Amino acid sequence: MTKQEITCDDILRELRSKQYRPIYYLMGEEAYYIDLISDYIMDNVLTDTEKEFNLSVVYGADVDIATVINAAKRYPMMSEHQVVIVKEAQSIRNIDELSYYLQKPLRSTILVMCHKHGVLDRRKKLAAEIEKVGILFESKKLKEAQLPAFITSYMKRKGVDLEPKATSMLADFVGTDLSRLTGELEKLIITLPKGQTRVTPEQIERNIGISKDYNNFELRSALVERNVLKANQIINYFEKNPKTNPLQMTLSLLFGFYSNLMLAYYAPEKSEQGIASFLGLKSPWQAREYQTAMKRYSGVKTMQIIGEIRYTDAKSKGIGNSSLTDSELLRELIFKILH
């Protein structure tokens, strides 16, 4: 495995076995993994007593690169290591000068740079210097298709199982904000009755506030089956509960589904496994809806639907629309999808 391909799990595995690097440069659009790694280092490398003298946490907006380098050059007091964590490292000016320190980094220092909502230019000398002596990790946003697998894996580590419908409800409702998603998962774990290790759609409804019968997941299923009555019941519910069912969330989910459906027509193998593999889905059962939808919608109709979703999105933002409310726009879109 090359250093560019290193994963969050690889880094945590090293840290748990007490293999430490002089620098961890954690960057990218997904804050969750950056926080996970930096929090692990902050909480576990030093004992509580050692932290008093050997843990420094600074913010990029408050320090310059010289201050960071000076902190990194200090020797630990009554400890094998010192930890220096720089949050919001993207705010530090002249960060390229860090490469001078990395020519000969202090092995007793663990320097953690947290660079969120962006990345370091890998073509620059600094990136090469980091990779030579430490870890350069890019935390990428998960795609929507990867969410069910993330949820299942996260809960399995906690000894909890989820029914597939419960997993899909959560993925559709929360989306790709992993910090918020894990917060909702922890809330679910706390509310599980003693001795119960399986989460049902009813528990999602009770504890997260998503209706098990009237949500985006069920709307998608109704559209797949071309069940006009059920689809209209759901959009009526959405109309009465606009705060928990915003139009943009529904449009995003529908656009993702019909875009994938369009791709599924090009899958060389139309079995569950073949479609799942072609679309990058983690589980073959996720491909079942696409198989069903391919029987209900032609490729031409699917292309028209994608165009209508884009048009509705534009109108919801005020482009070419002077009077229709979000619920009226959704009702119009659902009619066009089904007819």
Q: Are 172 and 285 part of one and the same domain?
A: yes
pLDDT at 194: 85
Q: Are 117 and 176 part of one and the same domain?
A: no
Residue 45 pLDDT > 70 = yes
- Helix (H, G, I), strand (E, B), or coil: what is residue 18? coil
Q: Are 89 and 181 part of one and the same domain?
A: no
Beta-sheet pairing, 23-28 with 135-139: parallel
Q: What is the mean pLDDT of the chain?
A: 90
Cα–Cα distance measured from residue 328 to residue 69, given in angstroms and rounded to the nearest whole number:
58
The percent of residues above 90 in pLDDT, for the chain, comes to 61
User: 322: which 2 tokens?
Assistant: 């002077």
pLDDT at 83: 97
The whole-model pTM stands at: 0.71
Domain boundary among 139, 157, 191: 139
Four-residue CA torsion sign, 62, 67, 69, 73: negative
Domain boundary among 82, 107, 139: 139
User: 231: which 2 tokens?
Assistant: 């689809």
Q: Are 115 and 32 part of one and the same domain?
A: yes
The DSSP secondary-structure symbol of 89 reads G
pLDDT at 102: 95
Q: Are 202 and 257 part of one and the same domain?
A: yes
pLDDT at 1: 38
User: 110: which 2 tokens?
Assistant: 């663990």
pLDDT at 320: 76
Q: Are 24 and 79 part of one and the same domain?
A: yes
Counting every residue written for the chain, the total comes to 339
The percent of residues above 70 in pLDDT, for the chain, comes to 98
The answer to whether 235 and 334 have CB atoms below 8 angstroms apart is yes
CATH number at residue 325: 1.20.272.10
pLDDT at 281: 79
Q: How many other CB atoms sit within 10 Å of the CB of residue 150? A: 19
Q: Are 176 and 314 part of one and the same domain?
A: yes
Instruction: Give the tens place of pLDDT for each residue, 80-122.
Output: 999 999 999 999 988 999 999 999 999 999 999 999 989 998 8
Instruction: Give the tens place of pLDDT for each residue, 125-145.
Output: 999 999 999 999 999 988 887
The candidate with the shortest Cα–Cα distance to 281, out of 260, 253, 303, 305, is 260
Q: Are 123 and 181 part of one and the same domain?
A: no
Q: In sequence order, which residues have a C-beta less than 8 Å from that of residue 48 and are 6 or more positions away? A: none
The answer to whether 32 and 178 have CB atoms below 8 angstroms apart is yes
Residue 3 pLDDT > 90 = no
CA separation, residue 186 to residues 142, 175, 217, 313 (Å): 19, 16, 21, 33
Q: Are 174 and 260 part of one and the same domain?
A: yes
Q: Are 116 and 174 part of one and the same domain?
A: no
If one counts the domains in the chain, the total is 2
Residue 2 pLDDT > 50 = no
pLDDT at 241: 84
- Helix (H, G, I), strand (E, B), or coil: what is residue 145? helix
Residue 11 pLDDT > 80 = yes
User: 164: which 2 tokens?
Assistant: 């597939």
Instruction: Give the tens place of pLDDT for each residue, 66-81.
Output: 999 999 999 999 999 9
Using pLDDT thresholds of 50, 70 and 90, give the confidence band for residue 322. low
pLDDT at 249: 86
Q: Domain span at residue 73?
A: 3-139
Q: Are 94 and 225 part of one and the same domain?
A: no
pLDDT at 258: 94
Q: In sequence order, which residues have a C-beta less than 8 Å from that of residue 123 and are 6 or more positions away? A: none
Instruction: Give the tens place of pLDDT for each residue, 200-246.
Output: 888 888 888 777 888 888 899 999 999 999 999 999 989 888 887 88
CA separation, residue 33 to residues 20, 141, 176 (Å): 18, 10, 13
Domain boundary among 96, 122, 139: 139
DSSP H or E segment with residue 166:
helix 164-174
